[in-house]
Amino acid sequence: MNSSTIAAIATPIGCGGIGIIKISGPNALSIAAHIFRKSGFKQEWLDTANNFSFKTHRLYHGHIIDPENGLVLDEVVLAVMKAPCSYTREDVVEIQAHSGYAVLSAILLLVLKQGVKPAEPGEFTKRAYINGRIDLTQAEAVIDIINARTDKALEIATSQIKGDMKVRVEAIRGVLVNIMTKVSAAIEFSDDVGKTIDADSAIEELQGGVVARLKELIEQYDNAHVLRDGVNLVIVGQPNVGKSSLMNSLIKKDRAIVTCVPGTTRDLIEETLNIHGIPVIITDTAGLHKTDDPVEVIGIKKTYEHTSGCDLVLFMVDASCPLTSEDIAIFEKINNKKTILVINKSDLVDEKFAMNIPSHWADVPQVTISARYNRGIETLKDLVAKTVLSGQGIDIADKIIPNLRHKIALDKSLESVSLSIEGFQAEVPFELIAIDVQGSIDSLGEITGVAAREEVLDKIFSSFCIGK
């Protein structure tokens, strides 16, 4: 348990109905008692040390009063949760005050004056982890819930905060620990024939209980991490093909200016949208062509820079005129990216129209749309989802989706366990096999936190906001 008491404003600063100041630590209750006056106060409520004594999991209505001068700072409700049944497993008091910059700052200052430390970003959750209430995957899920932009991302985060990922990883780790126990016994009692390991059954156990399950989780990351992390989508193409019209059609508002004047869009225009549960940041760009206009030149440079870092390119061409050498030049520049060929202005050609495209574009998924008349937009969205979900379709049944940190540890664990299997097969000494089994165990421990290094913890918790 941590000996210090910490406090922070836990709600966004601004005008609102309620703002919450959270206090956690051994002195949370005594400090709250010192600055709080319950409504209808009676002297007999005080204990022998002249302190107000709170009951756990109760709400108390009253006022925050500066004990030095008797000044009332606000009318509040106090939520009291005594250790260990609290978010941090320490004594916790939440002061529900009115939300305004001045009032919340004044109360926080008063709390800090009582010898309380301002909380670091994520420190409450870090304490919940250190005090054993949650594992590292659940701590990460807290930030995922806060940042979730779609229902799907939220589902993944809530499954993780319930501990689904932890349970899955611990089950795999359990198999490894079991094998490790046998290997250790075999090393220790190498003279005792009865204590040796049957390599075939160990390999079978590792293949089924570890390798297959690790691969399943890694595959789940590869196929579906975009549901949690989102994707960056960029619309590129020559001027006037209809990029801004598509942007507006996708986000269902007139965000980008649409005109028949080539070179209208010069800057990058960014919007967020939800495509079948995938959080998408979409960028409309300056038309790509040869130009002497200095503003357009900058816009084109920005377009290429942005495209190099994106996850998926919507490469747009105009159905009403044949492809030009400019179109082909653009395609050559972006063809190292995942791309969808979007053939726009289908309203200007007849139904049987098929665009004449170079043979090496044949593998590029394509869709014909009319951005102006909102035709083919749903098909385009389906294709985007399918492409970024690695062709897995939109229904990801399993909500356990590792994040990048988990996936790196899973890869390491898989590598070590594979080496240990090779060791069993080659009948190398058990001492060497033990190193790989232990390596595989340790990598999984990094995920849940049983074997996480301090810098990993710092990195995770520093991404939190203050007050969480």
Ligand X SMILES: Nc1nc2c(ncn2[C@@H]2O[C@H](COP(=O)(O)OP(=O)(O)O)[C@@H](O)[C@H]2O)c(=O)[nH]1
Residue 400 in contact with ligand X, rule: CB under 6 A: no
Q: What is the DSSP letter of 14?
A: S
One character per residue 259-278, x = contact with ligand X (rule: CB under 6 A): xx---xx-------------
- Taking alpha carbons only, the member of 329, 166, 150, 316 closest to residue 244 is 316
Residue 265 in contact with Mg ion, rule: CB under 5 A: yes
Q: How far is the CB of 269 from Mg ion (least distance, A)?
A: 8
Residue 244 in contact with Mg ion, rule: CB under 5 A: yes
Report the residue from 160, 223, 240, 339 that binds ligand X according to the rule CB under 6 A. Answer: 240
Q: How far is the CB of 373 from ligand X (least distance, A)?
A: 6
Report the residue from 182, 225, 228, 345 that binds ligand X according to the rule CB under 6 A. Answer: 345
Q: How far is 282 from 270, CA to CA, in rounded Å?
A: 6
Residue 245 in contact with ligand X, rule: CB under 6 A: yes
Scanning 1-9, 87-95, 191-199, 238-246 for contacts with Mg ion by CB under 5 A, the matching segment is 238-246
Residue 344 in contact with ligand X, rule: CB under 6 A: yes
Report the residue from 174, 239, 365, 439 that binds ligand X according to the rule CB under 6 A. Answer: 239
Q: How far is the CB of 253 from ligand X (least distance, A)?
A: 14
372 binds, among Mg ion, ligand X, none (CB under 5 to 8 A by kind): ligand X
Lookup result for tokens 């399950």: 213
Q: How far is CA 423 from CA 208, 213, 326, 429, in A?
A: 17, 20, 57, 8
Q: How far is CA 235 from CA 241, 283, 284, 322, in A?
A: 11, 6, 5, 20
Residues of this chain, 350-389, that bind ligand X according to CB under 6 A? 370-372
Residue 242 in contact with ligand X, rule: CB under 6 A: yes
266 binds, among Mg ion, ligand X, none (CB under 5 to 8 A by kind): none
Lookup result for tokens 């691969």: 215
Report the residue from 89, 152, 243, 266 that binds ligand X according to the rule CB under 6 A. Answer: 243
Per-residue tokens: 264: 């209208």
Q: How far is 78 from 88, CA to CA, in rounded Å?
A: 17
Residues of this chain, 7-36, that bind Mg ion according to CB under 5 A? none
Residues whose CB is less than 8 angstroms from the CB of residue 246 and which lie 6 or more positions away in sequence, other chains included: 235, 284, 314, 316, 342, 344, 369, 371
How is 130-168 classified by DSSP, letter by letter? HTTSS-HHHHHHHHHHHH--SHHHHHHHHHHHTTHHHHH
Closest-approach residue to ligand X (CB): 242
Q: How far is 219 from 406, CA to CA, in rounded Å?
A: 12
Per-residue tokens: 290: 């040869």
Scanning 174-182, 208-216, 243-251, 350-358 for contacts with ligand X by CB under 6 A, the matching segment is 243-251
Residue 254 in contact with ligand X, rule: CB under 6 A: no
Report the residue from 277, 287, 299, 467 that binds ligand X according to the rule CB under 6 A. Answer: 287
Using CB under 6 A as the binding criterion, the count of chain residues that bind ligand X stands at 21
> On the CB side of 247, how many CA atoms lie within 13 Å of its CA?
28
Instruction: Name the residue nearer to ligand X (CB basis): 34 or 255.
Output: 255
Instruction: Name the residue nearer to ligand X (CB basis): 259 or 335.
Output: 259
Per-residue tokens: 37: 């006056």
Q: What is the DSSP letter of 119?
A: P
260 binds, among Mg ion, ligand X, none (CB under 5 to 8 A by kind): ligand X
Residue 255 in contact with ligand X, rule: CB under 6 A: no
